[in-house]
Structure 1
């Protein structure tokens, strides 16, 4: 993979334009090696049954404990624990399922090797993050239950929706 990347890089990039502020955003998606797998809703009842209506799709999600382990490995490379910013995001209200974003602090050793940030989120994030707003994370969610006419009245009287 590295050899293919280097070949692609040298054929695509004129390094005379690369400055010290330049960085590469590398993404990695973790997927099962086999094709997407379908799991029966009731494995006992579906044994030997190939009816697709009785099957569910499967996706990979991150567990909070695994993300915390990664985060502690990154921060343990420096004596200053407060030199990185991390944010855990509750994902799809599924218990320990989370997403994580870490901004690497200037004092961390891995920053000097080029790691600026890490993000961990599942591919299905786009389904739940419309306009980068997640369910129940929008501060205006309370206004969804208001009657549309009442909201319009407030906007006209107050010159805008202040709530």
Structure 2
């Protein structure tokens, strides 16, 4: 073990030279990942042996700092569009929060950074790891949304051979399994610390240039500069953070299960839409996700042209509430008191489920929602 970067890399280089024949690879086309993790002092302690003077902490990237870093690399035109060759930036709000997020910068194939040897840079919080089992996250099975569809409608599709079949028991099992995993993760990890991580994929050629810079660092004494810059991350007690995530998950589980428990033998269209919304929101409420790609949750109102017609689509408008309130919330078009969408918003809602097409709406629009509170 060593805390010297140059020594660590040279040891790796020796192992690489023994394992790889240079005639079979090019340094310009062979890449390594260089990464840094920042975490709490008690990270190395077993979660059940943390001394009393330590408190488990979770670090979260600050949005303002990541955006500031991106501005150093992305060149913009006068109209605000990025210049040709600048890296593409993808941001992922954490748990639908405004001020903390993950970020990925992917270099353009013919951009200067890519030609220099940098492929991408990524910043994320390690708090995602309790919910990640071999890249499978809780509530991430899209097929679970089929639980919101009317059983009679599903049977008719199966009989006519006009729709995709699914197993209700399998979908229920997947949902309950995700709930069990989430419960265990929230309960068992409150005394663990989680840091933040940045990764950069670079070519071996660029890595050699970086190594030269590391060597130069050792020639200078920077101890005279004792001023500490502001931290680019928040420090949150892990117990408080997991309590917040529990509330995030519970509210959408409650919305889905309460609606499902009060359905009749036939699900009305308003009930189906509410249940799909709850299940969709569960996938975005506890980790970093590209919320902007989920129109149902993120957008408010927009128009799409279908042939000669202009079709109005609506979502829950989390983009607006996220910026105003600091957390993504449904616009008032959704009532938590009645657990229904106010009209006419329900008719325009873009649910986007595989089986939520025009035929479904035509069949069930006439079904009276007996549990709708006027």
Taking structure 2 as the reference length, the TM-score comes to: 0.32
Q: How does 1:21-100 map to 2 (within 5 A)?
A: 21-32=29-40, 34-36=41-43, 57-76=56-75, 80=83, 83-100=86-103
Structure with greater helix percent: 2
Question: Considering only aligned residues, what root-mean-square deviation do their CA atoms show, in Å?
Answer: 3.9
- Offset at 1:124? 1.7
Q: Could you report, residue by residue, the CA deviation over 1:3-60 in whole angstroms, capped at 9, with x for unpaired residues?
A: 321222123332333224211122222223x224xxxxxxxxxxxxx5x9xx963211
Q: What is the match of residue 263 of structure 2?
A: none
Look up the match of 1:11.
15
CA distance, structure 2, for counterparts of residue 142 and residue 71 of structure 1 = 37
Shift of residue 145, structure 1, vs aligned partner: 5.7
Equivalence for 1:159 = 164
For residue 104 of structure 1, what is the aligned residue in structure 2?
107
- Gapped regions of structure 2 (runs ≥ 5): 44-51, 167-353, 356-374
Provide the C-alpha distance between the structure 2 equivalents of 1:118 and 1:63, rounded to a whole number of angstroms: 16
Q: Is the 8 A contact 2:102 2:125 kept in 1?
A: yes
Q: How many residues align?
A: 146
Superposed CA offset, 1:48-96 (max 9, x none):
xx5x9xx963211112111111111111499826632111111123331
Q: How does 1:138-153 map to 2 (within 5 A)?
A: 140=142, 143=145, 146=148, 149=151, 153=155
Deviation of 1:132 (Å): 5.1
Q: Distance in 2 between matches of 1:98 and 1:132?
A: 19
Query: Could you say if the C-alpha distance between residues 139 and 12 of structure 1 is closer, same or farther in structure 2, counting changes exceeding 3 Å?
Result: closer
Which stretches in structure 1 are left out of the alignment for 5+ residues? 37-49
2:107 and 2:120 in contact (8 A); partners too: yes
**Distance of 1:133 and 1:4 partners within structure 2:** 33
